[in-house]
Amino acid sequence: MAELYYDDDADLSIIASKKVAVIGYGSQGHAHALNLRDSGVDVTVGLREGSRSWAKAEEQGLKVAGIDEAVAAADVVVILAPDQAQRSIYAEHIAPNLKDGAALLFAHGFNIRFGYIDPAPGHDVVMVAPKGPGHLVRREYEAGRGVPVIVAVERDESGQAWELALSYAKAIGGLRAAGIKTTFTEETETDLFGEQAVLCGGASQLVQYGFETLTEAGYQPEVAYFEVLHELKLIVDLMYEGGIAKQRWSVSDTAEYGDYVSGPRVITPEVKENMKAVLGDIQSGAFAERFINDQDAGAPEFAELRAKGEAHPIEATGRELRKLFAWVETKDSDYTEGSAGR
Ligand SMILES: NC(=O)C1=CN([C@@H]2O[C@H](COP(=O)(O)OP(=O)(O)OC[C@H]3O[C@@H](n4cnc5c(N)ncnc54)[C@H](OP(=O)(O)O)[C@@H]3O)[C@@H](O)[C@H]2O)C=CC1
Ligand SMILES: CC[C@](O)(C(C)=O)C(=O)O
Ligand SMILES: [Mg+2]
Ligand SMILES: [Mg+2]
């Protein structure tokens, strides 16, 4: 049975008594830094020279410094740059400046699990991994709620690493929802599997195939878009509230019956075998190696795949339709330049 932790199980004063450096101001970085600040923590954002996030973080009322300077002053260094950049940031800017006894905190275990970062002895190594995108970590905190987190200790040199991690989890709002005790290995492997097989890879491919099937059969792209992408959120909202059972309760009997008879025709047992193969590549390190090798070569495969995804006809259809939604606050221009921090 999982060990669950809530606000009352954590002592906010532990993290509030430390100087925290948050390295990176992208999806997770901005959310952690702002939530920590609003929870009364002394936080400095550490950014590379010339960073375009520098002015943004300052405008949002945060202290900002170069990475070396932020690390040198910190009791807790939170590494929230992209996974593929962490190894060199750690070697060039963190390790040489890390104070004796300073703790390292991650939001994903990738670099520790696959050995790209191996901190020197004497430092606690902990993880607080939100189970949701950074922009929701901030939005939920501002709404008085939180995104669940999973929490792990890889190295406990101080004897206080767990208490520190829980305190941090409370400060970013995670324990308002729940914290679950995990390990770096479990977090890394389940997180990579979830995003590849279901949340990002699986869902995107399912939506694209659904859109292609309808439009190739001659139906209007706009109708197909509403059917397989827009409505997906509304259906998933019901799953989020009450599981698959609530979704099946709310939809028509026709839809529920169609779910039972056609779902397994589309998502066949072969798909589960494919999922197992994906998990195998994650566990063996083959996925991590492919990703990092591509990044080290300038990310040619990543760039090609990203361009292909952006060129899919569902994106053009969606861009036009979303202009008509008065209630969708995020403008496409907020993210068309790439991922959150680029
Ligand atoms: N995205 C998410 O919601 C989730 C992410 N995580 C984990 O959180 C961590 C951060 O991910 P995420 O928030 O997506 O990262 P982002 O891609 O959003 O991070 C962007 C930030 O990192 C900085 N950065 C990028 N490259 C470098 C570099 N070479 N040197 C110095 N700074 C750099 C950027 O600087 P600049 O501003 O100068 O461009 C920017 O501030 C990862 O470990 C990830 O797996 C965990 C849960 C969910
Ligand atoms: C689902 C993707 C994620 O793991 C996340 C938002 O939790 C990520 O790496 O961005
Ligand atoms: Mg995740
Ligand atoms: Mg992830």
Spatial contact of 173 and 134, defined as CB atoms under 8 Å apart: no
Determine if ligand 2 sits within 6 Å of the CB of residue 199: yes
Give me the sheet containing 179-181, strands edge to edge: 4-5, 179-181, 149-155, 125-130, 103-106, 76-79, 19-23, 42-47, 63-66
* Distance in angstroms (rounded) separating the CA atoms of residues 39 and 35: 6
Determine if ligand 1 sits within 6 Å of the CB of residue 170: no
Q: For a substitution probing ligand 2, which of 172, 191, 198 has the most ligand atoms within 8 Å of its CB? A: 191
DSSP state of 7: G
Residues forming a β-bridge with 179: 5, 149
Is 59 a known ligand-binding residue?
Answer: no
ipTM of the complex: 0.99
* Residues in Cβ contact with 336 at an 8 Å cutoff, skipping those fewer than 6 apart: none
CA of 131 to the centre of ligand 3 (A): 5
Atom of ligand 2 nearest to the CA of 191: 4
Residue 175 burial by CB count (10 A; 0-12/13-18/19+): exposed, middle or buried?
buried
Domains of the chain: 4-182 (3.40.50.720), 194-334 (no CATH)
Is 5 a known ligand-binding residue?
Answer: no
Spatial contact of 176 and 145, defined as CB atoms under 8 Å apart: yes
Is 335 a known ligand-binding residue?
Answer: no
Q: Give DSSP secondary structure letters for 195-257.
A: IIIIITHHHHHHHHHHHHHHHHTT--HHHHHIIIIIHHHHHHHHHHHHHHHHHHHHS-HHHHH
Determine if ligand 1 sits within 6 Å of the CB of residue 84: no
Q: For a substitution probing ligand 2, which of 113, 150, 195 has the most ligand atoms within 8 Å of its CB? A: 195
Q: Please give the chain's pLDDT, 342 residues, in tens.
A: 999 999 999 999 999 999 999 999 999 999 999 999 999 999 999 999 999 999 999 999 999 999 999 999 999 999 999 999 999 999 999 999 999 999 999 999 999 999 999 999 999 999 999 999 999 999 999 999 999 999 999 999 999 999 999 999 999 999 999 999 999 999 999 999 999 999 999 999 999 999 999 999 999 999 999 999 999 999 999 999 999 999 999 999 999 999 999 999 999 999 999 999 999 999 999 999 999 999 999 999 999 999 999 999 999 999 999 998 866 665 555 654 445 543
Find the DSSP H helices in the chain.
Answer: 12-16, 27-38, 53-59, 67-72, 83-89, 110-113, 134-142, 161-171, 174-177, 184-193, 201-216, 221-225, 231-250, 253-266, 269-284, 286-296, 300-310, 313-322
